[in-house]
Structure 1
Amino acid sequence: MSTPAEVLATLQRTDSAAPRITCYDDLPGPTAGERVELSARVLGNWVSKAANALQEEWDIEPGSVVHLAMRPHWRLAYWAWAIWSVGAVLDLDGEGSPDLVVTDDPARLPQDGPAVLVTRAALARSAGVPLPDGVMDEAADLSTHGDLFAAWAEPQGDDIALRVAGQETSYEDLGATSTPTAKGARVQLVDPSVEALLRTALTVWSAQGSLVVHLGPTDEQTLARRADAEGVTA
């Protein structure tokens, strides 16, 4: 199994313009109705900016722990891949004292310690709320980081890549328990958990496929119409 960074690099080399994640937001709130689609090239740009920020701002590297306290979303995908690109531990549990917290919920910002506040809206240019010292306003500041990324160090196969529900998965084993998918499949996910979104993305992208993700409650008629329009195959 390739690392997540290698999977994304392969997509960028083979067909950088093809859509890799299409996200429909059906959750109540300011982003309701958004449809955002990212190609491998655009996804890679976001990943590079976030990974550069992790290294340059907080010295995140193999062995560092980043608590990703976000709901499923296309922005979650690039932050996850950025964490894996620097070789760190992507922690979904939030136990202990992580080196950094990345969240889309101001209520989940730590009382102290570095953090990133992610604004979900596609065109957001700031969080729109005052932030404590030590918290990056992603919408305002992430764009200042570069579109090209080189990791300071590569993770070893037995380094921890994912921590969720008290279980740890190494980089070598990441994705090994995911259900195989056909090459080039266009896979639909309906209101997935964070873990399901990340594991499915890794499996599908490893097979040169793409995702159509529906966030929140979506009726069956709408799902069927979108699946037809998006060319969903699985």
Structure 2
Amino acid sequence: MAPARTPAALLAGLVAADPGRPRVTVYDDTDGPTAGERVELSARVLANWVAKAGNLLQDELDAGPGSVVRLALPPHWRTLYWALAAWSVGACVEVARPGDDGHGADVVVTDDPARGGGAEHLVVVTLAALARAAAVEVPGGAVDEARDLATHGDVLVALDEPDPADPALRDGADVLAYAEVVPAAGDGTGGRVHTQTTDTGELLRLALAAWAGDGSLVLTRGTPGPGTRAARLASEGVTREA
């Protein structure tokens, strides 16, 4: 039996297969500074974000196998590349639950600095697509992703590989090892998958499943206006709702 794919190998396969094909499309119908955004990432562009975030994690924050990278982020395209970056350096991605701060995590990646107290390292993410600096006050010693991420390299070479039994995704009491976090292609995966999930753990699992089947993910954040949703799904060629 062939060894299970890691998320890093999965991403590399998407880039090799068709680097320009969209793999993530996000519509933002929330209130606030991101309202009205449509962001689409091809495999190549997604991999570029992952490389930069992975280099930051590995070179500045000493993340690797055995590290816990806690994502205190909503379902969002930035959440996806931070998860893939953590997996690419062999860390465990932990989905923050309500009330979590930074205790127990090596790195907290969040859009709310108050959720990072107690972590060894804090990365403050600004969700707006064109942000060049954080929209909130960044604590001393924390990383302002919007300001700093672009300075990191576009090629990521992991210093260590995770063991297949190492935890890859921890979501509450559910833990998936690296050997099982990427589903086998053909397990009902693939296609152009649409979701409006508000659960970050579910977003990560849906994305991995779609990509494992050589598919892509369309995420709607918030609630689109009357008549907008059906037209949008048709224009995006959605084949399945999740």
**TM-score calculated relative to the size of structure 2:** 0.91
Select 1:165's aligned residue among 166, 169, 172: 172
Identity %: 50
* Structure 2 equivalent of residue 92 of structure 1: 95
In the alignment, which residue of structure 1 is the partner of 2:152? 145
1:118 and 2:125 matched: yes
Change (3 A) 1:2 1:111: closer
Q: What is the CA distance between 1:119 and its match in structure 2?
A: 0.3
The alignment partner of 2:147 has SS state of: helix
TM-fit CA distance, 1:175? 3.8
Distance in 1 between residues matched to 2:18 and 2:184, nearest whole Å: 26
Q: Which moved more, 1:140-149 or 1:188-197?
A: 188-197
DSSP 3-state at the match of 1:67: strand
Letter of the 2:84 counterpart: W
Q: Distance in 1 between matches of 2:150 and 2:106?
A: 22
Q: Does 1:198 align with 2:204?
A: yes
**Corresponding residue of 2:44:** 41
Question: How many residue pairs are counted as aligned between the two chains?
Answer: 233
Return the alpha-carbon distance in structure 1 between the equivalents of residues 95 and 226 of structure 2: 30
Cα shift at 1:109 = 2.7
Residue 189 of structure 1 corresponds to: 195
- Verify the 8 A CA contact 2:104 2:119 in the aligned structure 1: no
**1:113–1:134 Cα contact (<8 Å) kept:** no
One-letter code aligned to 2:95: L
Comparing 96-105 and 27-36, the one that deviates more: 96-105
Contiguous gaps of at least 5 residues in structure 2: none
Distance apart, 1:208 and its partner CA: 1.1
Task: Name whichever of 194-203 and 75-84 sits farther off.
Answer: 194-203
Cα deviation for residue 222 of structure 1 reads 1.6
Describe the shift of the 1:177–1:68 C-alpha distance in structure 2 as closer, same or farther (beyond 3 A): farther
User: How far 1:182 moved relative to its partner?
Assistant: 5.1
Taking the aligned partners of 2:150 and 2:183, their CA distance within structure 1 comes to 34
Answer whether contact 2:57 2:63 (CA < 8 A) is retained: yes
Q: Which amino acid in structure 1 is aligned with residue 224 of structure 2?
A: T
Q: CA deviation at 1:112?
A: 5.9
Of 213, 216, 222, which aligns to 1:216? 222
The 1-side partners of 2:43 and 2:184 are apart by 24
The whole-number CA distance in structure 1 between the counterparts of 2:160 and 2:60 is 16
**Counterpart pick for 1:132 among 139, 146, 168:** 139
Change (3 A) 1:112 1:192: closer
What RMSD, in angstroms, separates the aligned Cα atoms of the two structures?
A: 1.9
TM-score scaled by length of structure 1: 0.94
State the distance in 2 between where 1:191 and 1:216 align: 9
Distance 1:21 1:225 in 2: 18
Q: CA deviation at 1:52?
A: 0.3
Superposed, 1:21-60 pairs within 5 Å as: 21-60=24-63
Residues 1:207 and 2:210 are matched in the alignment: no
> Aligned to 2:108, which of 101, 112, 135?
101
Contact 1:23–1:73 under 8 Å retained in 2 = yes
* SS of the residue 2:64 aligns to: coil
Partners in 1 of 2:184 and 2:9 — Cα distance? 18
